Chain A
């Protein structure tokens, strides 16, 4: 567990060196581990993904920064979910999601999935194929922010 970082550190940790092109997007993945201390209290740790096995919970962190001189308007971040990851949640970042490979988008509770018998059922987190955050306001020059979501290794 010496590699473990508590979440606060992870969130504050500088992202990878942000690329040029004025606006940069960095992507970090952590493994979320639950440990129980001697008092029986559970602690949630984010570790570097040294060892990843089915059932592990992954935390995806996206750092964005507008390093240019102009505001970035119509700012949209899209993350296709890796095939081997089942979406769990996106904390309180409220993304739009797609459950059909990026064709249609909406809030998860608004979407439905076709079933073999032709009827449609409400979409579940496991149906999510893509996540998208569409910002209503421009990102001012010099501003940065962070998004996150969680998934489970299938």
Chain B
């Protein structure tokens, strides 16, 4: 198919440069690094051909071939894997934040990892104890994941490959409920970092240069812990009734004890239990224990309460902040 073409002939000796410049200006976009892209070290070859007839039939000629070696672009991103702040408690050890490190460059590259815990904008500085390189399951397990040793096992990533990094930290004992502590994870290309465009001659994969991309060849993101603590307060009260209809603690009178456990804070307490000794000169009234108004049997059995002859015990288990538990029992004065 031959179509009318606007160029051809001697009058096109010069292209209208001004209009081309205008077109370039209109189309100019900042060079944007794509994910991975053409592999570093590969060659882009271009050859054009021309066919024509100068009277002796169709002749085809090739142009010279231009070969461009694709250099290595150094780009990396770090992203927190925690969708929300990770709950912790005062003094807790082995608290874990998860991050993804992705090689956005076009060559295989190793990345040095580091953390910053005093970034500001938070209430306390977690103490980072270790970094671990995930074994691929996305779940932190110090037995199967690899302890990161800077300069020794910097993770090496293929283009577009990601690795999960676990930041393990200790929460100071001095923090209080609601405090936030931020940790930044930084990944930097081992070949080098710097302003976009910075070149490291001959250090790219495949023999070309390594060139810092739009990310500066380093990436960072924040993860955060939030202290989720809870406190328990117990309030005990007693009411005396007797056959005289008064509140006098005479022999034979009944004392009804009420113990209210109140849990406050954004966290919860686990393993909560209420134990109370039966006072001297009083006797426990068999079958008088209640929890939240529901009777509890005296033997140690499936329900939460038991009486062992000297004390009552009610197991409350895990109770979230903002909740209360009320235990009652009765004694008689000997």
Q: Which residues of A contact B (CB under 8 A)?
A: 7-8, 11-12, 16, 19, 21-29, 32-34, 42, 44, 49, 51-58, 60, 62, 64, 66, 68, 70-80, 82, 84-85, 88-89, 91-94, 96, 105-107, 133-140, 142-148, 150, 153-154
Contact with A along B67-78 (1 / 0, CB 8 A): 011111100000
B residues apposed to A, CB below 8 Å: 1-10, 12-17, 19-21, 23-25, 27-34, 36-38, 40, 42, 44-55, 58-59, 61-66, 68-73, 106, 199, 208-209, 211, 213
A130 to chain B minimum Cβ distance, whole angstroms, is 10
Nearest CB of chain B from residue A87's CB, rounded to whole Å: 12
Interchain Cβ contacts under 8 Å between A and B, 12 examples: A25-B48, A27-B47, A51-B71, A51-B209, A55-B33, A74-B52, A77-B48, A94-B5, A136-B5, A139-B9, A140-B9, A144-B10
**Contact (A105, B21) CB under 8 Å given A44-B28, A73-B54, A140-B10:** no
Q: Is the CB of B64 within 8 A of A27?
A: yes
Instruction: State the Cβ distance, A21 to closest chain B Cβ, in Å.
Output: 6
Contact of A146 with B208 in the complex, beta carbons under 8 Å: no
Most buried by A among B33, B63, B199: B63
CB distance from B155 to the nearest CB of A (A): 22
Task: Pick the contact of A54: B12, B38, B66, B208 (CB < 8 A).
Answer: B38
Identify which of A29, A44, A51, A71 contacts B211 (C-beta below 8 A). Answer: A51
Return chain A residues, CB-CB under 8 Å to B51. Answer: 74-76, 78
| Pair B48/A44 contact, Cβ less than 8 Å | no
**A34–B30 CB distance below 8 A:** yes
Of the residues A11, A58, A82, A142, contact of B15 by C-beta under 8 Å: A11
* Given A84-B44, A94-B6; A145-B106 close (CB under 8 Å): no
Chain B residues lying within 8 Å of A44, measured Cβ to Cβ, are: 21, 24-25, 28
CB pair B46 A29 closer than 8 Å? yes
Do B27 and A150 have beta carbons less than 8 Å apart? Answer: yes
The answer to whether A145 and B52 have CB atoms under 8 Å apart is no
Distance in angstroms from A31 CB to nearest chain B CB is 9
How far apart sit A42 and B32, CA to CA, in the bound complex (Å)?
Answer: 16
Q: Which chain A residues lie closer than 8 Å to B209 at the CB level?
A: 51
Give min CB distance, A148 to chain B, whole Å: 7
A153: chain B residues at CB < 8 Å are: 37-38, 44, 70
Tally the A-B contacts, defined by beta carbons under 8 Å.
Answer: 213
Most chain B CB within a 10 A radius of its CB, from A7, A8, A26, A136: A136
**B2: which A residues are within 8 A, CB to CB?**
74, 134, 136
Given A53-B213, A94-B6, A134-B5: A82 touches B21 (CB 8 Å cut-off): no
Partner of A56, one of B8, B16, B23, B31: B31
Q: Is the CB of A82 within 8 A of B45?
A: yes
Return the 7 tightest CB-CB contacts between A and B, nearest first: A54-B37, A135-B8, A143-B10, A72-B52, A27-B63, A79-B48, A84-B38
* Nearest CB in chain A to that of B52: its residue: A72
Q: Which of B7, B23, B64, B208 contacts A16 (CB 8 A)?
A: B64
What are the residues of chain B within 8 A of A105 when measuring CB–CB?
Answer: 1
How far, in whole Å, are A62 and B49 apart by their CA atoms in the complex?
10
Q: How far is the CA of A134 from the CA of B63 in the complex (A)?
A: 16
Which of B6, B8, B36, B47 is most buried by chain A, counting CB atoms within 10 A of its CB?
A: B8
Task: Indicate if the CB atoms of A29 and B66 lie closer than 8 Å.
Answer: yes
Give A131 to B144 CA distance when docked, in angstroms. Answer: 54
Q: Given the interface contacts A44-B25, A154-B37, does A55 sit within 8 Å of B50 by beta carbon?
A: no
Q: Which residues of B contact A33 (CB under 8 A)?
A: 31
10 other A-B residue contacts (CB within 8 Å) besides A76-B51, A76-B52: A7-B17, A23-B61, A25-B61, A27-B46, A27-B66, A54-B73, A54-B106, A84-B42, A140-B9, A145-B13
A11 CA / B23 CA spacing, docked (Å) = 14
